[in-house]
Amino acid sequence: MDAWSGRLQISQQPDAFEFPRRELPQHVRFVGPLRLPGGYQAVPFPWERLDGRPLIYASLGTLQNLVAGTFRVIAEACDGLDAQLVISTGHGVTPEALGDLPGRPIVVSYAPQLDLLRRSAVAVTHAGLNTVLDALASGIPMVAVPVTNEQPGIAARVVWVGAGEAIAHTRLTPQALRAAVLRVRSNPSYRTAAEQVRDSIQAGGGASRAAEMIEQSLGLGG
């Protein structure tokens, strides 16, 4: 089915994470993240380095993260907070290239994102759809720092549903990010909003429900 199909259009956003529309076609359906159980490969991680403090997980995605200075801003913002920072650099930036960062965060190339998000108090993200949906699926509030492409629109939705705050990448400073992290972490309304979207994700049915819809649309249902 093409993206403009008049028969069925499936979105991996939950309906609670989409702006209201006056005339949404009936064939547009929201099912939540298209993930399969066990779909993520196991990723090594130094779990023994977690020290029990509240966790802040930071990721700028796996591809569009060639902004190494942003990781230093994140580290400076979180330095001195009663929290432990984990940074996942993704492709293009190695932990070694970042050198020593303020606060001595755990820095890895790739992280078991879902497992870490479930333990986190706050996520700092570039507002890529996959990372945002992973955070919301765990009911985790976030600070979004959109860089390009769909990210400003996703960040706007994070703010609209009340699950976090957003800072434009061009306006990012350690002081601004630190203040946003503290607000999101200390105000329970952000987590409550994220948990409401989590519930919408769980109700959406995900990949299994999407497969059922496709079969029904093609007349393949039993």
pLDDT band of 1, cuts 50, 70, 90? very low
The residue assigned the tokens 């403090």 is: 53
Q: Is the pLDDT of residue 100 over 60?
A: yes
SS3 helix, strand, coil % of the chain, rounded to 5? Answer: 40, 15, 45
Q: Which fold has domain 49-198?
A: Rossmann fold (3.40.50)
Looking at the chain, list the stretches that DSSP marks H as alpha helix, in order from N- to C-terminal side: 68-78, 95-98, 113-119, 129-137, 151-161, 174-186, 188-204, 206-217
> Domain boundaries in the chain?
49-198
Q: Which DSSP helix (H) or strand (E) runs through 55?
A: strand 55-59
Encode pLDDT of 46-70 as tens digits: 999 999 999 999 998 865 555 778 9
Encode pLDDT of 169-192 as tens digits: 999 999 999 999 999 999 999 999
